[in-house]
Amino acid sequence: MKDLLYDHFQDSVGELLIRHKSILDVLTKFQESQSRVSRAVVKAVTSCGCIEIDSKKQNISEDVSLQELKNYMDTHLKGNLCSSCRDIIEKEMGNNLFYIAALCNVLDISMYDVLLKEYEKMNTLGIYNLF
């Protein structure tokens, strides 16, 4: 059974996307929206300062199992997003989802099916999913 929210969202994008119907337009708008998400996160660090990035080499003992590895990995983030930065990042992520749906529409791919296949792959492969 398909999730109606995904179908409705994807259909709504199809109805609202008027100017950028070309695959070239959709691809470049998608890429731009990805950049805007990254930029919003960077601005939370550099302009607002609500979060900090403290990056350094991940220190992982060689005797750590793959299952335990996530317990030793660090996000390099310190602090928490303020409500203003959270709102901006959520807005940019929403725009990014819009263009993912637009790309799915142009290619005649169900966004829900993509999510479902990825979910099934994650459940099947578990921690070996990204290898």
**Residue-wise pLDDT tens digits, 31-81:** 999 999 999 999 999 999 999 999 988 888 788 877 787 787 889 999 999
Digit-coded pLDDT (tens) for 7-20: 899 999 998 887 77
Is 110's pLDDT higher than 80? yes
Name the one residue in this structure whose structure tokens are 């990042």.
89
CATH number at residue 62: 1.10.287.1080
pLDDT given at position 81: 98
Cβ–Cβ < 8 Å for 100, 20: no
Domain count, the chain: 1
Mean pLDDT for the chain?
90
Which pTM value belongs to this model?
Answer: 0.84
Q: How far is CA 9 from CA 14, 21, 40, 42, 53, in A?
A: 9, 17, 24, 28, 34
Closest CA to 82 of 38, 43, 53: 43
Q: Can you give the residue range of the structural domain that contains 39? A: 4-128
pLDDT given at position 49: 97
pLDDT given at position 13: 92
Confidence of residue 129 (pLDDT cuts 50, 70, 90): low
Cβ–Cβ < 8 Å for 75, 51: no
Say how far apart CA 2 and CA 10 lie, in whole Å: 12
